[in-house]
Structure 1
Amino acid sequence: MIDTSFHAFTEDLRQRLQRPLPGEAAHRKMASSNRYRMGIKPNERTRRSAVLICFYPYQQSVYLPLILRPQYDGVHAGQMAFPGGRMERFDENLVRTALREAQEEVGIRVSDVKVLGLLTELYIPPSNFFVQPVVGVLPYCPDFYPDPHEVEAVIEVDLETLLDETIVGDSQIEVRGVMVDAPFYQIQGHRVWGATAMMISELLMVMDT
């Protein structure tokens, strides 16, 4: 049986996601210094992708998983992220993309996920992707089975940690040989910055309005 407090959280979040989203106002709070200065726009080669922000109950609290990407020859190597990836031709929509990718990357049973709504689609210039954050819930704490080719580690984060304003910091980060000022969330020894931090910022703003 679902914990009644988790059920209340789920219903409240579902309702909040139906309201107008804060979008760029939330994104700018955690955007790196070069994001808007460079003025890079989507183009005809921009691809679509989606990630799953999936809450679940555990020990009288609410959790969600982040993943640590392994080191590889790519723009997002070694970064913290939500499970997700590119839309394939056989995906009927971006919600399906988010669910499929979460199942492939960390073993979430997608048939058990209840989708609550969407956050604002976000353009990621380094990889030239539009990414759609999909918010869902599981009624239980899942066992994770990370794909070692895609995921170095699964980091389970409780909601209280995300709501703690002291985890927000700012520092210089090297991006493709250029040093940029980047806000971040310090979570379990990892710095969560870039698009993932911008999504978290919007999620927190939605929960606070």
Structure 2
Amino acid sequence: MTGPLVQPDSVPEWLRPLVETSGKVDTATFTRFTPPEGTYTRPAAVLILFGEGASGPDVLLLRRADTLGSHAGQVAFPGGGAEEVDEGPVSTALREAEEETGVDPAGVRPVAVLPELWVPVSRFAVTPVLAHWHEPSPVHAVDPGETAAVARVAMSDLADPANRFSITRQGTGYRGPAFTVDGLFVWGFTAGLLSVLLSLGGWEREWDRGDVRDLDVALRDHEWETR
């Protein structure tokens, strides 16, 4: 089931457009990837947790540990694969967020479920769960072996044209959105989701879509800047 989990008028006004739109979008809104027929997929979920800080609405992100076997060092939403104890995508997203960032689920209100998205690299079928952080709790990298850092990133900073550009990877035909904000380099699945959410939520500002950078160069530049 996708769409709102609550009445849109029960959430803060700045979050209302996303809750209202969640039942009107489909997979094609977010990605061009669909699993080939007969492909084995692994169910997973991510928590897109919106709070409100000094700079307005923000979202919880983490940076994966550099030692992980897959997606090492990448910025992501809290989340992961479903387990037998989970009762569905919302349960998976909340459990994973607590395990990775220490967020207290009691202060989190799930408000909408987005369409399932296929991630070819990991073969995960990922369900994004939108939530309102109505009672924020302290967060941190619970297990340094899995998570290197946790941050609340302002949506206004993500929407800042100075922080947005596109990336390509030579020889692959890949092109996608990217962000550099608060010392984080965001690309791939997470950047794609954020890019669409900025638009659907009414936060998007005009930015230079002609600013296209090579992914490998951008990764090296970011590593140098954060030393």
TM over 0.5: yes
Is this contact kept in 1: 2:113–2:129, CA < 8 A? yes
Unpaired stretches in structure 1, ≥5 consecutive residues: 1-5, 29-35
Is this contact kept in 1: 2:108–2:131, CA < 8 A? yes
Distance verdict in 2 for CA 1:173–1:115, change over 3 Å? same
Distance verdict in 2 for CA 1:42–1:61, change over 3 Å? farther
Structure 2 SS opposite 1:105: helix
Correspondent of 1:193 among 181, 187, 211: 187
Is this contact kept in 2: 1:66–1:81, CA < 8 A? yes
Aligned counterparts of 2:166 and 2:177: Cα–Cα separation in 1: 4
Distance verdict in 2 for CA 1:75–1:10, change over 3 Å? same
Aligned counterparts of 2:29 and 2:19: Cα–Cα separation in 1: 21
Is this contact kept in 2: 1:69–1:78, CA < 8 A? yes
Aligned-residue sequence identity (percent) comes to 32
Post-superposition Cα deviations, 1:162-208, rounded to whole Å, max 9, x if no partner, equal: 2223322123448xx97954431222232211111121122123213
Partner in structure 2 of residue 165 of structure 1? 161
In the TM superposition, what is the alpha-carbon distance from 1:144 to its structure 2 partner? 0.4
Aligned counterparts of 1:84 and 1:45: Cα–Cα separation in 2: 20
Partner in structure 1 of residue 102 of structure 2? 107
Are 1:21 and 2:15 an aligned pair? no
Partner in structure 2 of residue 93 of structure 1? 88
Distance verdict in 2 for CA 1:74–1:42, change over 3 Å? farther
TM-score, normalization: structure 2? Answer: 0.74
Is this contact kept in 2: 1:42–1:128, CA < 8 A? no
- The one-letter code matched in structure 1 to 2:99 is E
Distance verdict in 2 for CA 1:208–1:60, change over 3 Å? closer
Post-superposition Cα deviations, 1:36-93, rounded to whole Å, max 9, x if no partner, equal: 6xx8637453100000010112226111111000112523111010000000011110
Aligned counterparts of 1:99 and 1:119: Cα–Cα separation in 2: 15
TM-score, normalization: structure 1? Answer: 0.80
Partner in structure 2 of residue 206 of structure 1? 200
Correspondent of 1:156 among 137, 152, 156: 152
Distance verdict in 2 for CA 1:208–1:103, change over 3 Å? same
Unpaired stretches in structure 2, ≥5 consecutive residues: 1-10, 204-227
Aligned counterparts of 1:48 and 1:187: Cα–Cα separation in 2: 30
Q: What value does the CA root-mean-square deviation take over the aligned residues?
A: 2.7
**Count of matched residue pairs:** 192
Aligned counterparts of 2:134 and 2:22: Cα–Cα separation in 1: 19
Distance verdict in 2 for CA 1:43–1:208, change over 3 Å? farther
Distance verdict in 2 for CA 1:60–1:205, change over 3 Å? closer
Aligned counterparts of 2:130 and 2:195: Cα–Cα separation in 1: 14
Are 1:139 and 2:134 an aligned pair? yes
Distance verdict in 2 for CA 1:126–1:60, change over 3 Å? closer
Distance verdict in 2 for CA 1:70–1:42, change over 3 Å? farther
